[in-house]
Amino acid sequence: MDRDLQSIQEVRDLIAGVMTAREALLGFPQERLDAVCAAVAEEGAANARRLAELAVRETGFGRVEDKVLKNLLGSATTWEYYKDARVVGILREDTAAGTMEIGVPVGIVAALIPSTNPTSTTLYKAILCLKAGCPVIFSPHPGAKGAILETVDLIQTAAVRAGAPEGAVQGIRLTTREATDALLTHREVGMILATGGEAMVRAAYRSGNPAIGVGAGNGPAFIARSADVPAAVRHIMESKTFDNGTICASEQSIVTEQCVAEEVEAELRRQGGYFLSAEESGKLAALLLRADGSMNPRTVGKPAAEIAAMAGFPVAAGTQVLLSRQESVGPENPYAREKLCPVLGYYVEEHWEAACARCVALLRNEGAGHTMVIHARDEAVVRAFALQKPVSRLLVNTPAALGGVGATTGLPPALTLGCGAVGGSATSDNVGPRHLTNIRRVAYGRRELRELRAAGETDGAETAPQRQTLPFTAEEIAAATRRVLERLGVC
C-alpha cells in the first residue's frame, strides 16, 4: 500500500480503539480521573531531563536545561494548578433557581504537537484531556516525531497503570499530511487542540470539527520612561534566550522612548546584546525569511552566535541576543515579525503615545491577539496600554516567554495560548481542562403558562412610562468624548 493510504488507515484504527476508551472514561468520576492525571504528571516530571535531551537531539532546537523546565511546567506545574478543579460531573446547583450544571467531556481530542515544544506540550495536553475525561490522539510534527511518540508511550503506560483504559492516549506513528487531515476531519473527533504553524492551525479550523488554535506570536516589549531599565533589560534577555526563543510568547521587538533610549541601549550591550550594523542587519534579514516569506527553520532555537555565523558575520564573545534598529513595520520586514530565536527588532519613539502606536502596528502586522509586555512603574501608562492593545495577555514587568505560560505570573500554566477573535482563535484564554468539557444544564419548571399570561395582562394594563429625552444630542456627546480622550492622551 502507499504510505498515505497506510497512514489514513492507521488513523481509522486509532479512532476505533479510542472510541472504546471514550465510553469507559465517561464512567469515571473526577476523583478517578485525577488519580490518572497525578500518575502522568509524576512520570513526566521524573523523565523531564531524558525527554528534554531527546527533543534537543532530534530537533536541534533550544537548550536542554530550559526544556527540562518546560517539561516540568507541562507536567507537575500544570497538575498542581488544576488538581483541585472539578470539571466533570455535577459542578454546581442552585436550589433557589432550580438549576444544576454538569460537566461533560467533549469526547475524543485530536492534539497537534509542534517541534519547538514537543515533549512539554504533549505532557500538558495529555493532563488537560485526562482531567476532562477525554481520550486523546496526538499528531506529531515529523521533525520531532521520535521525542513526541516516546512521550506518548510514557504517558499511556503511566495512565493505564493508574487505572485508565487501554487506548486512552495514542499517537500517529506513520506521520503524513493525509493522516493529519484524516484525524482532523473524522466525525468522531470532539475537539481539536492545534498548536503549531499557521497552516496546521488553519486546517484545524477548516476541518468542520470544533477547534482551539493559536496564532503566531509577535509581542513587542515596551520599555517606558518610568521603567527600572536594568531589570527590564534583564527580563527581556532572560526571556529571549530561554530555550533560545522557541516560546511564541517571547518578545520579538523592543520599543522604547527617546528620553531613555541611551540608557536602554547601554544596558542591552552590558547584558549581552549586540546591535547589528546596517550591513549585518541586511545579511541577517536575508537569512531569517525564506523566499516565500515564511520563517527559516534553520534559525529556530539556535543561539545568537550560531545565527550570526550562518548570516556571515562574527559577533563578540558572550553575545546573547542580536538587535537590529528599525523604523518600518511590514510583512516583508523580518525584524517586525515573529522570530523564534534570540533576535529582536529595536524601535525608538519620541513619547509613549508614539510607542503605543508602534506596538499596535507590530501586533497588527503579525501576532494580533497573542501577547505583549510592558516595563513601567507608572500605573496610568500600564492601564492605558491594557485598554488599547489588541492582545489577550498584557504582561507587566516580567519575562514574556515565562510570564505568558504562567511560570512567572499568576496566569494558568499553559503551552497553548489562545489569541481571541482578533487573532482568529476560539478563545483568548490560556487553555485548560474546562475548554474540553461542555456544560449540561438541568432546569426545573418554576412557573406555569397561565401565570405568564396573567403577568403579561397586568403589565399591559399599566400606564406606559413617558419617554425620557437626553439634555444633549448624540453629536454633542461624541464631540465631548473626543475632547476628553485627547486631553488624556489615549491613542
Strand order in the sheet with 369-375: 273-275, 321-325, 343-349, 253-257, 220-223, 369-375, 391-396
Among residues 248, 356, 359, 419, the one annotated as catalytic is 248
Strand-pair partners of 105: 437
Q: How far apart are CA 199 and CA 27, in angstroms?
A: 37
CA distances to 48, 70, 372, 460 from 62, in Å: 15, 11, 22, 70
Which residue reads 466533570 in cell numbers?
88
Q: How far apart are CA 312 and CA 330, in angstroms?
A: 25
In angstroms and rounded to an integer, the radius of gyration of the C-alpha atoms of the chain is 26
Quick check: is 37 catalytic? Answer: no
CB 401 within 8 A of CB 242: yes
- The DSSP H or E segment spanning 101 is strand 99-105
Which triple of cell numbers denotes residue 308? 550570526
CB 139 within 8 A of CB 172: yes
Q: 196-200: list long-range contacts, CB under 8 Å, 24+ apart.
A: 196/112, 196/113, 196/114, 196/141, 197/114, 200/112
Strand order in the sheet with 437-443: 89-94, 99-105, 437-443
Q: Which residues are catalytic?
A: 248
